[in-house]
């Protein structure tokens, strides 16, 4: 019987990693997730991001809405949106609110409900270490997809059962154009 897999993606982390490492962000979410699955059974993909302010950043908002439409077109994907908090905009950049907590809560809830055998987290952030340990303690396998070695958490590397390294070679065939 194939392992049942759920994929949890920290969208902001993914976006900035793609931009910094590959100089592009036009990832085909469906192809990308299909590659992560590696012939295992997909249960669901959760993609987390913060919605850009329409009033504060109209151009970026339009681009993001188009991107979200593409994400929503992928089968078995759930788009989960937190918010961007704008204080003293534009002199102070906005910050995300509620994304990490929402992702962690969903990952743990599905683990305890026995909805998956393997969780794949696409994020490079220390904040998820405790949640991943709890998922492992619940008898699940934990995989983390990391962009390169620089700037990724060694704690995350240590807690995971398997690191999926996302580099030029592994990203081949995952781009829109």
- The tens digit of pLDDT for each residue in 114-156 reads 999 999 999 988 899 999 999 999 999 999 999 877 667 889 9
Judge whether 89 lies within some domain. Answer: no
Share of the chain above pLDDT 90, in %: 90
**Residue 73 maps to a domain:** no
Q: Would 79 be classed as within a structural domain?
A: no
Residue 120: give the domain boundaries. 4-48+96-166
How many domains is the chain built from?
A: 1
Structure tokens at 138: 């619940």
Tell me if 173 is assigned to some domain.
no
The reply to whether 76 falls in a domain is: no
What the block records as the tokens of 95 is 């910050």
Query: Percent of the chain scored above 70 by pLDDT?
Result: 98
The whole-number pLDDT of residue 125 equals 86
pLDDT band at 177 (very low <50, low <70, confident <90, very high): confident
CATH of the domain at 40: 3.40.50.1010
Residues 32-64 have pLDDT tens digits of 999 999 999 999 999 999 999 999 999 999 999
Which structure tokens are listed for 169? 């070679």
Q: Is residue 67 part of a domain?
A: no
The rounded distance, in Å, linking the Cα atoms of 71 and 78 is 8
Q: Buried (b) or exposed (e) across 19-31, using 16+ Cβ within 10 A?
A: eebbeeeebbbbe
- Rounded CA-CA distance 112/66 in Å is 34
Predicted TM-score (pTM) of this structure = 0.95
């Amino acid at each position: 019987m194939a392992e049942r897999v759920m994929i949890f993606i920290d969208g902001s982390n993914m976006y900035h990693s793609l931009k910094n490492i590959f100089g592009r962000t036009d990832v085909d979410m469906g192809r990308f997730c299909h590659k992560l699955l590696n012939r295992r059974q997909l249960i669901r993909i959760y993609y987390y991001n913060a919605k850009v302010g329409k009033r504060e950043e109209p151009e970026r908002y339009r681009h993001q809405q188009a991107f979200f439409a593409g994400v929503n077109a992928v089968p078995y994907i759930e788009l989960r949106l937190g918010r961007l908090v704008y204080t003293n905009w534009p002199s102070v950049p906005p910050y995300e609110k509620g994304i990490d907590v929402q992702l962690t809560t969903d990952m743990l809830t599905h683990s305890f409900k026995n909805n998956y055998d393997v969780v794949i987290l696409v994020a490079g952030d220390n904040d998820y270490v405790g949640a991943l340990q709890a998922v492992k303690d619940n008898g699940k396998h934990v995989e983390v997809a990391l962009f390169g070695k620089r700037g990724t958490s060694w704690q995350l590397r240590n807690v995971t059962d398997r690191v999926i390294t996302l580099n030029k070679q592994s990203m081949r065939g995952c781009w829109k154009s």
